[in-house]
Amino acid sequence: MSDKFILKVIPISHRNNNSLLLKFKYNDELITLSKSIGCKWSSTNKGWYVYHSNENIRLINNAFKDKADIDLSDVKPFLPKKSKKPVSVKIPEEYLDLLIRRRYSENTIRVYSSLFKEFIQYYSNIKLDDITENDIRKYQDYLVKKRKISISTQNQAINAIKFYYEKILGHDKGDFHIERPIREKKLPEVISENELLRILKATDNLKHKSIIAMLYSSGIRRGELINLRIKDIGFDKKIIFVRLAKGKKDRTTILADNTALVLRKYLKLYKPNYWLFEGMNRKQYSATSVGSLVKKASIKAGLNKIVRPHMLRHSFATHMLEQGVDLRYIQTLLGHGSPKTTQIYTRVTSYSLAKIKSPFDAIFDSKDSDNKGS
User: Could you report the per-residue pLDDT of 84-130, keeping only the tens digit for each?
Assistant: 455 677 889 999 999 999 988 888 898 999 999 999 999 988 888 88
In angstroms, the CA 260 to CA 233 distance is: 9
Mean pLDDT of all residues belonging to the chain? 85
CB atoms within 10 A of CB 194: 8
* Residue 23 near residue 7 (C-beta atoms within 8 A): yes
Identify whether 336 is a catalytic site residue: yes
Exposure pattern of 113-148 as b/e (b: 16+ CB <10 Å)? ebbbebbbebbeeeebeebeeeebeebbeebeeebb
Exposure pattern of 9-37 as b/e (b: 16+ CB <10 Å)? bbebebeeeebbbbebeebbbbbebbbbb
pLDDT given at position 149: 86
pLDDT given at position 276: 96
Identify whether 308 is a catalytic site residue: no
Mean pLDDT on 353-359 = 64
In angstroms, the CA 56 to CA 39 distance is: 10
Exactly one of 8, 117, 246, 300 is catalytic; name it. 246
pLDDT in tens, 159-174: 999 999 899 888 887 6
Q: Which of 11-15, 203-207, 367-371 shows the lowest per-residue confidence on average (mean pLDDT)?
A: 367-371
In angstroms, the CA 266 to CA 208 distance is: 10
In angstroms, the CA 126 to CA 124 distance is: 6
Mean pLDDT on 320-332 = 89
Identify whether 208 is a catalytic site residue: no
| Of 153, 113, 145, residue with least CA distance to 33 | 153
| Of 145, 154, 12, 153, residue with least CA distance to 75 | 12
Exactly one of 147, 208, 209, 221 is catalytic; name it. 221
Exactly one of 345, 347, 351, 355 is catalytic; name it. 345
pLDDT given at position 19: 87
In angstroms, the CA 157 to CA 107 distance is: 14
pLDDT at 351 over 60: no
* Residue 41 near residue 48 (C-beta atoms within 8 A): yes
Residue 87 carries which DSSP code? P
Taking the model in full, what pTM does it have? 0.60
Question: Burial, 155: exposed, middle or buried (Cβ in 10 Å; 0-12, 13-18, 19+)?
Answer: middle
Mean pLDDT on 119-145 = 89
Identify whether 246 is a catalytic site residue: yes
Exactly one of 208, 222, 308, 313 is catalytic; name it. 313
Identify whether 345 is a catalytic site residue: yes
